[in-house]
Structure 1
Amino acid sequence: MVTASFGFLAAGTRSNWIRLRTLILLRWMAIAGQLTAITVADRVYDLDLPLGLCYLAVGASIIANLFSMFLFPENKRLTEVEALMTLMFDLSQLSFLVFITGGLTNPFALLVLAPVTISASALALRTTVVLGAVAILLVTMAAFFHWPLRFEGGGALEVPWLFEFGFWLAIVVGILFLGLYSHRVAMEIRSMSDALLATQMALAREQKLTDLGGVVAAAAHELGTPLATIKLVSAELMDELRDRPDLLEDAKLIRDQADRCRDILRDMGRVGKDDLHLRQAPLGAALREAAEPHMARGKAVLFQMLASDGSSARQPTILRRPEIIHGLRNLIQNAVDFSRSTVWVEAEWTDRTVTVRIIDDGEGFPPNVIGRIGDPFVRARRSDAPPSRRPEYEGMGLGLFIAKTLLERSGAELTFANATDPFLTPEERPERCGAVVEAVWAMTDLAAPANLSHGANQRIEM
């Protein structure tokens, strides 16, 4: 029945539900603070409090905590509705204490901010809106309807109405501000956490593919000699068995199957990267490898290699690290997705740095999001065009975030910009008029060591 009554919250159910033990611990802290405040007010300041009702309210929290501890397991996680009801109980209990102890003349009324802040940090926005609205309603009621604080002699503690109104306004503003602020920060933390998880998964997948390619390359290398021997021996047997047609067919079958094994290993071994010679590649070859999945998507991908003045004209040999290949692949994919017809991949190097630029002839980055490119889950992207412009997926900024994270992890510094003024007419725009992504590495971070290709291949541990 509870779930049915709060069905509008079901859509906000999160997979990272808050633990019941966390709320129980916070409630024990609140109980200790309430008992201390009641005791000090009664014994030290001689305030005439309705102790029976006060201890009744605190006792209700104690019973609720004991009930929760013994009825539910320690690893119990609350659903959205369960967490709302738990925080609603805490808010109601605190509001009742405020009601019988002076209303807004009681400075501890400020603590109604706590349940709202917890909700904003851990639960969905709609849950926080419901809890915040109830908190504002209860605080407003406490401002008009409450038992006044009285001293032992019977005199009432009175606060000027302006101070009381200011205290009410401060609490309401605090509920709104802290609720919005906590929810915003929590959302950014969760988005960053989800994006980093996706980055780790992408890198792990690329690493697994690399390792698998290494296994295949090693298998192709190690099996090449025995297969060649089998083929040679089968050819000799065919020469000796020309007068034995029944055995000659068996020898031909052995030779054909050896050729088939060779072809299979050759095809599989094309992705091998564990051979010491294949752990490095010229810069241009690495860029073409990164762009290869997007070369046949109907857009031209052009490469340009350029040595700066004073540097060697020979392309630098770089490490074929998975994060570099995967990061560049994501950037090239983004350029191909949003280009009209052409993408340029430029590489420039000096003795100290290597620079890679990826330019397209599309619309460029929107001015309102160019400062946030690289943040995860940026929804306002260059997707104003019809869906046919990007049929593969609906981008949310995660691909650029993964690319930026992986490339920066390899030592690159990335910048995002537009090649031209977006307000130019189509006739005024140059050929390279779209987005520009530039990645700059120090040569020491990217170049392969000179002795990497020497020595025996490493044994692959299975």
Structure 2
Amino acid sequence: MPETGPPQTLFEHPHRANWIRLRTLIVLRWVAVAGQSAAIAIAHFWYDLQLEIGLCVLAIGMSVIANLVAMFIYPANKRLNETETMLMLLFDLAQLAFLIYLTGGLHNPFALLLLTPVTIAATALGLNAVLIVGAAAIGLVTFVAFGYLPLRTVQGFVLRVPSIFLFGSWTAIVIGVSFLALYARRVTTEIATMGDALLATQLALAREQKLTDLGGVVAAAAHELGTPLATIKLVSSEMADELKADADRESLLEDSQLIAEQADRCREILRAMGRVGKDDLHMRTAPLGAVLEEAAEPHQDRGKALHFDLQPGPGNEAEDQQPEVHRSSELIHGMRNLIQNAVDFSAGHVWIEARWTARRITVRVIDDGDGYPPHLIGRIGDPFMRRRRSEEERRKRPEYEGMGLGLFIAKTLLERVGAELTFANGSDPFLAPEERPDRSGAIVEATWPRARLVAEKDETRAALGLNRPFQT
């Protein structure tokens, strides 16, 4: 089941054209001007074709003038909005079509270049703008197929292709406009969507890392301040006893100096931790069950029962001790997203199972909900996955948009630490409620090679030493 979506203001692309610099289109237009000028010169002077040179120069000159105006009026770093980009592409399309009209229409093989503005529009503009540019391209191609100035040689011969080839050229260009626009837009949209999803993953991981670091700071503070605070407590108690007994004042002076030294030590520790923080070495590794419980902790009190089932895998019953695993932010946040998704869609129970062998560690998250929609199982893990929801689903979760971002983040983070994820249903979702087993809902299975997840014995048994500052 897809997870709730991200804030739309952050991850949608209503203004992708704002990414395009005016300078980029100006450079492309200069390249087009150079190519058009070279083609006209070769056709006229090398092949002796009788062209309307004046009109051709006028057509090319319009692009030159447009570039010069844009260069002098706008700054070099100007970025175009969608309307400005569309108008520039329509201008280039019209200029190229006029040049094709002057040089034989579709009998000119360079008519294929009419696809270029459409492809650029498909990669940079919204759907409405792409449709406008595509419709303009098809209209202009149709016009130059019937209306054009023929190509003539010096002897007066007209260069033309057979009608069937002319129709084939028109069909190919129209299909090319439609196909390239659709294909380029689809690829660009998927790339942008994946970029947004990866950005969301990085933000989620950064947030989890900050929370982990904060926990490390707190634990390190308690660990490092324990000894000096105990010393202060002991010395202050002794001073109180001596004051009651009215003993020698010299010992009180020594004790007060010791208290001052320990207070200074506490101050230095707090100052160092407040400046960059320290990584608590006690939190680097933890038993597998403790890590899973930490991941599930935010969802313990949401009205659903969480059941933990941790035991050795088949053939490893003698190894009843849980493996010590690296307590990484990716592992915790990834498992937390999977558990959240299960809690969101369960009827009342979620099972978190863990099995370990000498080679692999497997964790399953199972719920007793309706399971994944069968037609979407193959797409689970894709970001921003939308599907039409029934009225019953809307009533159950009116805030849920079905974007799939949570599962994408979970899958991406867990794969970073070596996991392989599979998604399935515990039973046929079309069975009647009384026919379903308890664990009938969605199943997510994450499997790691043991070496990728389990900490070495030296890491868990060796002396930890001093806590080290966080890397900044």
The normalised TM-score by structure 1 is 0.87
Q: Which runs of 5+ in 1 are unaligned?
A: 1-10, 245-253, 266-271
- Asked if 1:297 corresponds to 2:313, the answer is no
Moved more, 452-461 or 375-384: 375-384
Name the SS for the 2:446 alignment partner: strand
Name the SS for the 2:413 alignment partner: helix
Q: CA deviation at 1:133?
A: 0.7
1:227–1:22: structure 2 CA closer, same or farther, 3 Å change rule?
Answer: same
CA deviation map 1:90-131 (0-9, x unaligned): 101001101111111111111110000001012111111111
- Partner in structure 2 of residue 314 of structure 1: 321
- Asked if 1:409 corresponds to 2:416, the answer is yes
1:15–1:450: structure 2 CA closer, same or farther, 3 Å change rule?
Answer: farther
Aligned residue pair count:
431
- Asked if 1:437 corresponds to 2:444, the answer is yes
- Partner in structure 2 of residue 286 of structure 1: 291
Amino acid at match of 1:291: A
Q: CA deviation at 1:72?
A: 2.2
Name the SS for the 1:152 alignment partner: coil
Q: Which runs of 5+ in 2 are unaligned?
A: 1-12, 247-258, 271-276
Task: Output the aligned Cα RMSD.
Answer: 2.6
CA distance in 2 between counterparts of 1:325 and 1:273 reads 20
Once the two structures are superposed, the pairs formed by residues 334-413 of structure 1 within 5 Å of their partners are 334-380=341-387, 385-387=392-394, 389-390=396-397, 393-413=400-420
CA distance in 1 between counterparts of 2:284 and 2:129 reads 52
Moved more, 233-242 or 434-443: 233-242
| Structure with bigger RCO (C-alpha 8 Å, 6+ apart) | 2
Moved more, 302-311 or 91-100: 302-311
CA deviation map 1:215-242 (0-9, x unaligned): 2222222222232233334444555667
Once the two structures are superposed, the pairs formed by residues 437-456 of structure 1 within 5 Å of their partners are 437-453=444-460, 454-455=462-463, 456=465
CA distance in 2 between counterparts of 1:169 and 1:404 reads 44
- Partner in structure 1 of residue 5 of structure 2: none
CA distance in 1 between counterparts of 2:230 and 2:134 reads 77
Amino acid at match of 1:458: N
Percent same amino acid among aligned pairs?
A: 63
- Partner in structure 2 of residue 114 of structure 1: 116
Q: CA deviation at 1:383?
A: 7.6
- Whether the aligned pair in 2 keeps the contact of 1:80 and 1:123 (CA below 8 Å) is yes
CA distance in 2 between counterparts of 1:381 and 1:447 reads 42
- Partner in structure 2 of residue 52 of structure 1: 54
CA deviation map 1:419-447 (0-9, x unaligned): 11122222211111111100000110010
CA distance in 1 between counterparts of 2:448 and 2:66 reads 59
- Asked if 1:459 corresponds to 2:468, the answer is yes
- Asked if 1:427 corresponds to 2:429, the answer is no
1:130–1:228: structure 2 CA closer, same or farther, 3 Å change rule?
Answer: same
Moved more, 337-346 or 306-315: 306-315
- Whether the aligned pair in 1 keeps the contact of 2:14 and 2:126 (CA below 8 Å) is yes
CA deviation map 1:252-301 (0-9, x unaligned): xx9xxx9xx9xxx9xxxxxx993222211111111111101011101111
- Partner in structure 1 of residue 254 of structure 2: none
CA deviation map 1:195-251 (0-9, x unaligned): 11111111122112222222222222222223223333444455566799xxxxxxx
- Whether the aligned pair in 1 keeps the contact of 2:107 and 2:166 (CA below 8 Å) is yes
Q: CA deviation at 1:159?
A: 2.6
- Asked if 1:331 corresponds to 2:338, the answer is yes
1:390–1:283: structure 2 CA closer, same or farther, 3 Å change rule?
Answer: farther
Q: CA deviation at 1:310?
A: 2.9
CA distance in 2 between counterparts of 1:446 and 1:31 reads 59
The normalised TM-score by structure 2 is 0.86
Match of 1:37 among 36, 39, 42: 39
CA distance in 2 between counterparts of 1:62 and 1:153 reads 33
Match of 1:103 among 102, 105, 114: 105
Q: CA deviation at 1:15?
A: 7.2
CA distance in 2 between counterparts of 1:150 and 1:427 reads 83
